[in-house]
Amino acid sequence: DCPVCTLPVVQNTDARDNETLLKLGRKTFEYRCVYCAMSDAQSSLNGDLKILAPSETKGKPVEIARINNEWKTADGVVFVAVKASHKVCQDTYRAFSSREAFDAYAAQNKETLGDVKPVTLAEMVKLSAPQPEKK
């Protein structure tokens, strides 16, 4: 089960990858989506780490690294980030190696995603940051 949303991690299929992996030292954690992994990284995990987020290409995840508290990924990487039930977060929070790949995914999943715009790494980090509790 995902350490953040507690739902079962959606397993990879023959057609696409779904599991998001976070590597911290020698430990590897599985998450339901990239949002859950980044949220956990920011709320409870210290130090350098690497997230392998499913991309548009099976077997080629997008690598996101946090090194010295700075988030980095390859040039051109964008994310889909649509707030929805965690029952579909593996579809509504994903990484893409390019804007073109994002556009193709958004077009194929318009019913679930609506008129979605791509999100940058900096925006994704901000979206997944733990929210201060209201008093």
Q: Is the pLDDT score of 84 beyond 90?
A: no
3-state helix, strand and coil shares in percent for the chain, rounded to the nearest 5 = 30, 25, 45
pLDDT of residue 40: 94
- Distance between CA atoms of residues 19 and 9, nearest Å: 7
Percentage above 90 pLDDT, the chain: 69
- Distance between CA atoms of residues 33 and 87, nearest Å: 10
Q: Is the pLDDT score of 87 beyond 70?
A: yes
pLDDT of residue 134: 58
Percentage above 70 pLDDT, the chain: 97
pLDDT of residue 35: 93
Reduced to 3 states (helix: H, G, I; strand: E, B; else coil), residue 110 is: helix
Do 79 and 118 form a contact (C-beta atoms < 8 A)? yes
Do 113 and 104 form a contact (C-beta atoms < 8 A)? no
pLDDT of residue 132: 64
User: Angle, nearest 10°, between helix axes 34-44 and 121-128?
Assistant: 60
pTM, entire model: 0.90
H or E segment to which residue 79 belongs: strand 78-81
Q: Which residues contact 40 (CB under 8 A, 6 or more apart)?
A: 3, 4, 22, 29, 31
